[in-house]
Amino acid sequence: MSGSPALFDAHLHLRDARILPFHARYVKDALDVGVTACIDCATRPEEWAMEVSSSLAATTAYGLHPWYASVSVPNWLERLECVLASDPNAPVGEIGLDGIRRVHDGGTAQRAVLFAQLDLAARLGRPVILHGARVWPLLLRLLEPWADRICAWQLHGINFSHELLALPFFKRANAWFSVGGGLLKPAARLLPELLPHLPLNRLLVETDSPDRFPIGGDPLVLGQHQLLYNQPGNLRCILRAAATLRALPVDELAEQTAQNARDFLAAR
């Protein structure tokens, strides 16, 4: 894509088992549309240990995702600290609380796993990538004690009312806001209303691929098979929707969000 700015996908999952067999195609499609850099979230011990080589400039984040909080993995916290020690640039993530999948313990395990990882990130001075699907108001209140103990936050896949920006968390937190395919849902209300309230130099764009296949996006295509997996190439339609809401040229927003992603990773 000569002449177009390089795009930065601020949140995806290169190690997801569903796309590993199609990895080369997934990366080629990304590069074809100009996505050259990404933050790749390794979400559980099997993924932390994986070697993934890719021509995308990928920064890997390591963390135990809330979906795996009740899976019993011996010494998981020590193993996480070990893998972080071996990669001094790695953020901690994605971690958080989840309101999509039903849990049977009232969220106790998710909270314990989250708080342990926040303490680790604070001690090691690492940025945090945060998952708060459907529980953002609760999560942002719970995180208040950590707000300025973490050097940088990426709030990933945000979808909440702009009124939450008045919470005490945001007065002390060094926060970046990552916007994904939710923006393309015809019924989306909160996110289109929130977007103009966010500081332009704190805005990130993400696909969260292979999840969150966006309406109007292109699926990962393999020969005659169309797999409805999301891919980083769909970052362009998310950027277009965000640029319309911010009344900015797409290329300008692409450059700005790529710079913002680099700033987030450099924050210490």
Give the interface with Zn ion as residue ranges (CB under 5 A): 94, 208
The answer to whether the beta carbons of residues 8 and 35 sit under 8 Å apart is: yes
Q: Which residue number, 5 or 178, has a Cβ lying nearer to Zn ion?
A: 178
Residue 94 or 98 with smaller CB distance to Zn ion = 94
User: Are the C-beta atoms of residues 204 and 264 closer than 8 Å to each other?
Assistant: yes
Cβ closer to Zn ion: 9 or 94? 94
Q: Which is nearer to Zn ion, 98 or 208 (CB)?
A: 208
We find the least distance from the C-beta atom of residue 211 to Zn ion, in angstroms, to be: 6
State the nearest-atom distance from the C-beta of 97 to Zn ion, in Å. 14
37, β-bridge pairs: 8, 57
Q: Determine phi and psi for 58, rounding to 5 degrees.
A: -110, 130
- For residue 31, the Cα-to-chain-centroid distance in whole angstroms is 19
H or E element that contains 96: strand 92-96
From CA 98, how far away is CA 100, in angstroms rounded?
6
For the CB of residue 34, give the shortest distance to Zn ion in the complex, in Å: 21
Nearer of residues 5 and 14 to Zn ion, judged by Cβ: 14
CA distance 254 to 217: 17
CB of 212 to Zn ion, least distance (A): 8
Q: What is the dihedral of CA 191, 104, 11, 79, to 10 degrees?
A: 150
Q: Minimum CB separation from Zn ion for residue 156, in Å?
A: 6
Closest to Zn ion by CB, 5 vs 16, is 16
CB of 171 to Zn ion, least distance (A): 27
Compute the distance between CA of residue 11 and CA of residue 6 in angstroms, rounded to an integer.
16
What is the rounded CA–CA span in Å between residue 122 and residue 133? Answer: 23
220 contacts 20 by C-beta, under 8 angstroms: no
Position closest to Zn ion via CB:
208
